[in-house]
Amino acid sequence: MTIIVHHLNNSRSQRVLWMLEELGLPYTIKRYQRDAKTMLAPPELKQVHPLGKSPVIEDTDGASGGAGSDLGAIAETGAIVEYLVDKADGRLGAPAKRADALRYRFWLHYAEGSLMPPLLLKLVVSRIPVFGKVALKRIQPMIDVHLDYIESELAQRPWFAGDQMTAADIMMSFPLEAARSRAGLDQSRPATIAWLAKVHARPAYQAALAKGGPYAYA
């Protein structure tokens, strides 16, 4: 039994490696490199999934543990994370307390649904001459609203869903690492910075970095 991770450098797929390390599930990595000029994924990824994006996983054993899985490629980080929670019998999934479970589901989807869009918009707009500089002045306040909200939440609890780390924290890692790198997340938001430090210090995170290779946001 093994899981194949189609891993693109400096991408969301680093979260999948971290998730697998936390769960102790066996996996192998198939590596892909971004184009040095365009920073786009290579065309080879389209042979794995029609969208040509990463992360994508293939489970050679299936969710039930039976041989000969016909699930094919599983794409989208959130879908992969939920699949792995199910495969691991609920580990890193929703906490037992209802309030914590609701927070878990919120942050699990907030990461890509609400936080990543303005971060991606800022990245794209920053590469546009003249107009980009003007637009950035309007985009950063949008991001700051999110960062202030996250800071207020992490000031109340050690992890996004409560007292224990969950898959919601894994989902939130990529956008917050991106925000630390290029969108104004700094020591003025100490609870969020402390959360990132805890994430980076976890042995499973370090193991995923060692196996995944250079990752600009760590």
Per-residue pLDDT tens digits for 3-43: 999 998 888 899 999 999 999 999 999 988 787 777 778 88
Given a cut of 60, whether residue 64 has pLDDT beyond it is no
pTM (predicted TM-score): 0.90
Given a cut of 60, whether residue 45 has pLDDT beyond it is yes
- Of residues 162 and 131, the one with the higher pLDDT is 162
Burial tier of 36 (Cβ tally within 10 Å: 0-12, 13-18, 19+): exposed
Residue of 207, 212, 210, 209 whose CA lies nearest to 7: 212
Given a cut of 60, whether residue 103 has pLDDT beyond it is yes
Per-residue pLDDT tens digits for 187-217: 999 999 999 999 999 999 999 999 998 888 7
Average pLDDT over the chain reads 91
Given a cut of 70, whether residue 71 has pLDDT beyond it is no
Q: Are 7 and 45 in contact (CB under 8 A)?
A: no
Q: Which domains does the chain have, with CATH numbers?
A: 3-92 (3.40.30.10), 98-202 (1.20.1050.10)
Question: Cβ atoms within 10 A of the Cβ of 211, count?
Answer: 17
CA dist., res. 206 & res. 218, Å (int): 9
